[in-house]
A and B are shown apart, each in its own frame.
Chain A
């Protein structure tokens, strides 16, 4: 307590507690503190949202227009048929034949479905094992496909389709045993023998593309060509 003052320390303390005005915090201060304490959101550049929206719209339009875009198909009908046959071969390679049938037990059904009659067919030997046969529909034509597998696991697909007057590129024709001159074509990494047999176009497809493979592929052609005789079913 001070000796110089009539007011005691306790009395002065009481006055400070009771008489001194208190300043309550303004209402907005609590809100601004809470807001400022929140973690800042990642800043996004202003151009990002419109750009993303435009890109998304362009993608939607592109996807919607894909069915109407012209397909990049070969103009040459033979090349186009080869591409379809190779695609079917690839499908069989990946997923197997849709319906495997043991010819000739299913021959009437196969002939009816494919429109191709097999007067004789290659049923397999010590080099090629017959896997199955099924009707196919390629480039708007019904046909027949026979599947074989060789000792190395190569799938070999024989296909016969109606193709009257199918042009064969002279530059690709390969003489085999002085009897046949099929064209050796390629598509998507597969090799294909292509030849005409009456009004039918015939194809043998396999993934045999190296020089040594070609010799073996010739051998497969001979085996299949000699033993298979497809004709249009009337």
Chain B
């Protein structure tokens, strides 16, 4: 009986942790972001909300709107 209870608690804990990770990933994906690739091979990712990202995302949104 105790083992069953412990397994159920562990299962619920693992399930909620996995759900939280999935939700976090989905939320991160839904945020606008911009990836900059430089000549030396470095990559800079600027996500929505970052002050440097906003003017770039503005241009990108304008560009995408122009195609519609």
> Do A and B associate with each other?
no
